[in-house]
Amino acid sequence: MPRFTPAQLQAARDRLVPDVVAPDLRVLFCGINPGLMTAATGHHFARPGNRFWPVLHLSGFTPRLLAPAEQQELLSYGLGITNVVARASARADELTAEEYREGGRLLAAKVARLRPRWLAVVGVTAYRAAFDDRKAQVGPQERTIGDTRVWVLPNPSGLNAHWTAATMAEEFARLRVAADDDGAGAGGAADAGSGAAGGVADEAAAPVRAAEPR
């Protein structure tokens, strides 16, 4: 990965990073918003220490560990990446409540257009803010967007001490099984939510999002 000076990273602030999307994906993963490293490189979840790519592999979504620069390969596995808020920032707490709400509206429209089987929001605090669902927990949600079901995953930031890579991979794998189960309907999603991993500590127990450098 190229090295960037602090000035180069700051120059990436507010930059937009293209989505990795296509119609009819198995899972569309949705981050909070791009961090400065992601904006500088154009690669999602590019900050060193972010566990998204290792956990994606550990959970069986990808047959090998992909580098952020290989993000387009996700499409061949029926996977994609977008964000709740499009603009890049150094920290997630730089985003306003209105940006989250507007991001939720735009995300719902995008999902309705692309029709993924599952929308997976990585970060329960971001999901709560975007969809005004203060009681949401990690796991499958009752909410649907058209025929798309919704799953909330733990924030893969290295600063999220409530989840290890192993416990994150367990939760990601539960989603993978649900996404691969062609016969899973609303009842299947509810059954998936009964696993033990869904009861692991709620991210909102500590203000991880507010403190997280992007």
> What would the mean pLDDT of 68-78 be, rounded to a whole number?
98
Residue 101 predicted with pLDDT over 60: yes
Scanning 85-211, the segments in alpha helix (DSSP H) are 97-114, 124-131, 165-180, 186-192, 208-211
Q: In 3D, which of 137, 167, 135 has the Cα closest to residue 59?
A: 167
Res 176 pLDDT > 80: yes
Q: Assess contact for 118 and 148: CB atoms under 8 A.
A: yes
Q: Are 118 and 175 in contact (CB under 8 A)?
A: yes
**Span of 113-127, 139-153, 185-199 with lowest mean pLDDT:** 185-199
Model confidence, pTM: 0.85
pLDDT tens-digit series, residues 55-67 = 999 999 999 999 9
77 and 69 Cβ atoms separated by less than 8 Å: no
pLDDT of residue 206: 36
E strand or H helix that includes residue 7: helix 6-11
> 30 has which bridge partners?
82, 121
Distance CA 201, CA 188 (A): 23
C-alpha 51: how far from chain center? 11
* Run of H or E residues at 79: strand 79-83
**Candidate from 28-37, 104-113, 121-130, 180-189 with smallest mean pLDDT:** 180-189
Query: Is residue 34 over pLDDT 90?
Result: yes
Radius of gyration of the chain (CA): 16
Beta carbons within 8 Å of 146's beta carbon, 6+ residues apart: 111, 112, 115
The pLDDT value given to residue 137: 97
In whole angstroms, give the CA distance from residue 83 to residue 159: 19
pLDDT category at 197 given cuts 50, 70, 90 is: very low
Token duo for residue 166? 């192993």
